[in-house]
Amino acid sequence: MLNERIRILIVEDDPDMAELISDLVEAEGWIPLTAASAEAAAGVLARESVHLVLVDHNLPGISGRVFAQRLRAQTNIGIVMVTAAGSAADRVLGLETAADDYVVKPFEPIELTARIKAVLRRTIPSLKPERDSEREHEPASLKLGDWSVDLANRRAVCRTDPAKSLTGAEFALLEILAETPNIPVSRAHILDRLGAESDRYIDRNVDVLVLRLRRKIERNPDLPRHIKTRRGKGYVLDTDDGELSP
């Protein structure tokens, strides 16, 4: 059961939809906060402690996508986009934004709450389940190029540019690859571990997420040294050029 004091900011200009989502949030024991625009949401964030932001893609004034990008530049808070778009291109766009996950309207209540819980667990260490026996040998820390990654405490710091940060989804991908370093991980396994049980998620989503992570981690994303592709097998975290600590 997730912490009942968790506060969810719902950025939605449709009053009926905002009320519906607020009811779902309250039903889970969380505290809903609402804003009808990006500008109003910024005011709420300045006054309140918020654990996750649920933001509609189409907002009056500043769009939800731009708002999410600006928010990500300032904080690692969990962000879930809500969009009415449903094409494959729009799904990829959903992961190319600064959001950790996204939900397509109309959505099932159980899907929305499941995705919120998944992002909260990825972005708040205290909510992360205890490691099971299958993950006992996962390294606690990594050194990848300019980055020092503390897997145990879910922190990643770029020594040459401390302003850089990883989104929850990017860090989750790195965690998945780090569980079996130097062994390829399939796209299907990555999708499953990210909680992507819906058929709206496709292999291309993983490729986009890998590209985003490479752009931050690799000194030359076009010639990756750490996150490599294994044709027909998936992706692998190559530690030959990095360091692992138990």
What pLDDT, in 10s, does the model give residues 75-85? 889 999 887 75
Residue 99 pLDDT level (bands cut at 50, 70, 90): confident
pLDDT at position 214 is 94
pLDDT at 170: 86
Rg of the chain on CA atoms, in Å: 18
Query: Quick check: 31 pLDDT over 80?
Result: yes
Query: What digits encode the pLDDT tens for the residues 61-75?
Result: 999 989 998 998 888
Q: What is the DSSP letter of 163?
A: T
Express as a percent the part of the chain with pLDDT over 70: 80
In whole angstroms, how far apart are CA 113 and each of 16, 70, 116?
18, 24, 5
- Phi and psi, residue 185, nearest 5°: -120, 125
CA distance 164 to 218: 13
Which two three-digit tokens encode residue 151? 């897997």
Which spans in 180-246 are helix H? 187-193, 203-217
Mean pLDDT of the chain: 81
| Residue 164 pLDDT > 80 | yes
Q: What is the pLDDT of residue 75?
A: 87
- Alpha-carbon separation of residue 139 from 144, 150, 157, 181 (angstroms): 13, 9, 17, 9
Write out the E strands in 137-240. Answer: 141-144, 147-150, 155-158, 227-230, 234-237
Q: Residue 199 above 50 pLDDT?
A: no
pLDDT in tens, 3-14: 448 999 999 999
The CA distance from 202 to 91, in Å, is 9
Q: Tell me: pLDDT of 242 over 50.
A: no
pLDDT at residue number 215: 93
Whole-number Å distance between alpha carbons of 116 and 85 = 19
